[in-house]
Structure 1
């Protein structure tokens, strides 16, 4: 038994501790915006008003970082009540059946001093698919409004709804959906 404890102590001593700080997304300062072509005439912009999640940030080794995030599909906002209801409905987001869109990262690849590609599983319409987003760490420091440690990010990317088998009005409404997220996370208080 003493030998097993000694081996366990050696293994634990040789394992580097993960220097991850947990940042909870601030829903009042996180914006999830998307864009899609409509009939070739205009690009329609929309957003999700209810988003949240957690970023585990390793500032020294960003490749060890991860994120889990979600939006409530019923919170979609396109600037017109009838369109909001239509897009949240059965033929588009189907919010009743699919109340959340979720993203869980599976890898981070550093691309610059403050940039990275974050790959993960995006669950949309009840199906998970691999996607990659470009991420910029805008700032890490004290939020002047809250006096709390904060991390701000800009996330961009494009998904294709056809990858999920979504074909509603495919000849009229674009399959490619541009995504931009401005995310603010506050350092979680130690419990």
Structure 2
């Protein structure tokens, strides 16, 4: 994604319809998905996925024509406590083998402001696919000061229901609602990229 991710959707030039999306790839070292949930009313428990991969196709003249795909292994989850991780990977929750992936593929983008949009897409988790809406914000876009190529950074939030993906054990005592916070960077794919 380049320049203003969501701006100019309503004021694009007449030729904008002929523009083609540009390819960006996620910077895996600076992309994270954090999740949190209420534990029995006593605390908020946090976990994270990081180092994931994804591609963005961005049409800067018509951001609604953009798209995003992301995937990462379930077992890349970091909980900060090995016992919790192993429980999440057990049959009580994911029953995840080494190859099980979480994927998100956008289906549409609803531009809501100069730097905001709702990204609607299909989330596949625990072998179940459900529609999810990400409330996304462009943090910054421009040439990366060290990499010397177009770069962009975004935040997004969403709320998921564990039970929708059949990982709802202990709900409602452990909250069924899980808050998602996403922060990522993406770099423009150039002819020199392998």
The alignment's TM-score, normalised by the length of structure 1, stands at 0.86
Query: Deviation at 1:110?
Result: 0.4
Counterpart contact for 1:73–1:95, Cα < 8 Å? yes
Whole-angstrom distance in 2 between the partners of 1:93 and 1:33: 17
* Counterpart for residue 104 of structure 1: 105
CA 1:185–1:97 in 2, change beyond 3 Å: closer, same or farther?
same
Whole-angstrom distance in 2 between the partners of 1:84 and 1:165: 17
RCO (CA 8 Å, sep 6+): is it higher in 1 or 2? 2
Whole-angstrom distance in 1 between the partners of 2:145 and 2:16: 37
* Counterpart for residue 4 of structure 1: none
Aligned pairs for 1:36-47 (under 5 A) are: 36-47=37-48
After superposing the two structures, state which structure 1 stretch, 81-90 or 138-147, moved more: 81-90
Whole-angstrom distance in 2 between the partners of 1:99 and 1:80: 21
Do structure 1's residue 155 and structure 2's residue 156 form an aligned pair? yes
SS in 1 for 2:96: coil
Query: Deviation at 1:19?
Result: 2.4
Greater radius of gyration (CA): 1
Query: Deviation at 1:158?
Result: 0.6
After superposing the two structures, state which structure 1 stretch, 88-97 or 124-133, moved more: 88-97
Aligned length: 178
Which structure is higher in helix share? 1
SS in 2 for 1:178: strand
After superposing the two structures, state which structure 1 stretch, 53-62 or 14-23, moved more: 14-23
The alignment's TM-score, normalised by the length of structure 2, stands at 0.85
Q: Following TM superposition, where does structure 1 have runs of at least 4 consecutive aligned residues deviating by more than 4 angstroms?
A: none
Structure 1 residues 36-93: Cα deviation after superposition (integer angstroms, max 9, x where no partner): 1111111101001331100111122110010000121101111112222222333223
Query: Deviation at 1:17?
Result: 3.3
* Counterpart for residue 54 of structure 2: 53
- Structure 2 gaps, min length 5: 1-14
Q: CA RMSD in A?
A: 1.9
Aligned pairs for 1:13-52 (under 5 A) are: 16-52=17-53
Query: Deviation at 1:161?
Result: 1.4
Whole-angstrom distance in 2 between the partners of 1:78 and 1:62: 35
CA 1:166–1:85 in 2, change beyond 3 Å: closer, same or farther?
closer
